[in-house]
Chain A
Amino acid sequence: QVQLVESGGGVVQPGRSLRLSCVTSGFDFATYAMHWVRQAPGKGLEWVAVMWYDGSHEFYAESVQGRFTISRDNSKNTVWLQMNSLRAEDTALYYCARGRDPYRSSSIYYWGQGTLVTVSS
């Protein structure tokens, strides 16, 4: 079955960096776009970033543009989120997620369980 397992969260000081990882299994990773979505404590969902199945395109929410970078390695079935210049408002549960359809940027279907990032001094 499809599995998405995030790791790398933790407590980090404002201005510092953190890299989240998402290891996947149970599907042909190289054919699906991968997303990161976050949810601040007690708040709603916020889409963060997507990378196309072949790594040719990446897009970001305005709130993280220029600070976060999504990347993937199709040989390792893994997607990462490099987060730089972290702010208190980046504190959230970060979900790794997979699109529904291969070869296109489609609705998010599968979600991981999330990894918690806390930005605090």
Chain B
Amino acid sequence: QSALTQPPSVSGSPGQSVTISCTGTSSDVGSYNRVSWYQQPPGTAPKLMVYEVSNRPSGVPDRFSGSKSGNTASLTISGLQAEDEGDYYCSSYTSSATFVFGGGTRLTVL
């Protein structure tokens, strides 16, 4: 039940696009579409940004989009804004009926 693999950090300038990858295995990301992405600003609880690979909850801007190919899921944030800064985590359902998170990616808006 190893954590999903995310890059420790990504950065971009306002208006640019960034993509955060999340690599798992055939026992989690590769086998299920229950991949989610969470945003966590410092000192706050996580917020669901994308669920089931590419769906956005009500209220989440369409600048946030998700996709998946094989064992790797991705979150793309287009038109970067200063308020997008924070930590981002992916999560997946697993073949053991458990869930697993990625190690987290710190997004810096330059």
Contact among A35, A44, A57, A95 with B3 in the assembled complex (CB-CB below 8 Å): A44
Given A45-B89, A106-B34, verify A50-B99 contact (CB < 8 Å): yes
Contact among B3, B45, B51, B100 with A100 in the assembled complex (CB-CB below 8 Å): B51
Of A21-29, A78-86, A107-115, which binds chain B?
A107-115
- CB pair A60–B48 under 8 Å, yes or no, is no
B30 at the interface (CB under 8 A from A): no
Q: List chain B positions with a Cβ less than 8 A from chain A.
A: 1, 3, 34, 36, 38, 40, 45-48, 51-52, 57, 87, 89, 91, 93, 96-104
- Kindly supply a per-residue 1/0 record for chain A positions 62-106, scoring 1 wherever the CB is within 8 Å of any chain B CB and 0 otherwise: 100000000000000000000000000000000100001000011
Residues of chain A lying within 8 A (CB to CB) of residue B3: 44, 46
Q: List chain A positions with a Cβ less than 8 A from chain B.
A: 35, 37, 44-47, 50, 57, 59-62, 95, 100, 105-109, 111-114
- CB pair A112–B46 under 8 Å, yes or no, is no
The closest CB in chain A to the CB of B46 belongs to A111
The closest CB in chain A to the CB of B6 belongs to A44
Given A111-B46, A113-B45, verify A47-B97 contact (CB < 8 Å): no
- A81 CB to closest chain B CB, in angstroms? 15
Residues of chain B lying within 8 A (CB to CB) of residue A57: 97
- CB pair B97–A105 under 8 Å, yes or no, is yes
- CB pair B91–A47 under 8 Å, yes or no, is yes
Residues of chain A lying within 8 A (CB to CB) of residue B34: 106-107
- CB pair A45–B104 under 8 Å, yes or no, is yes
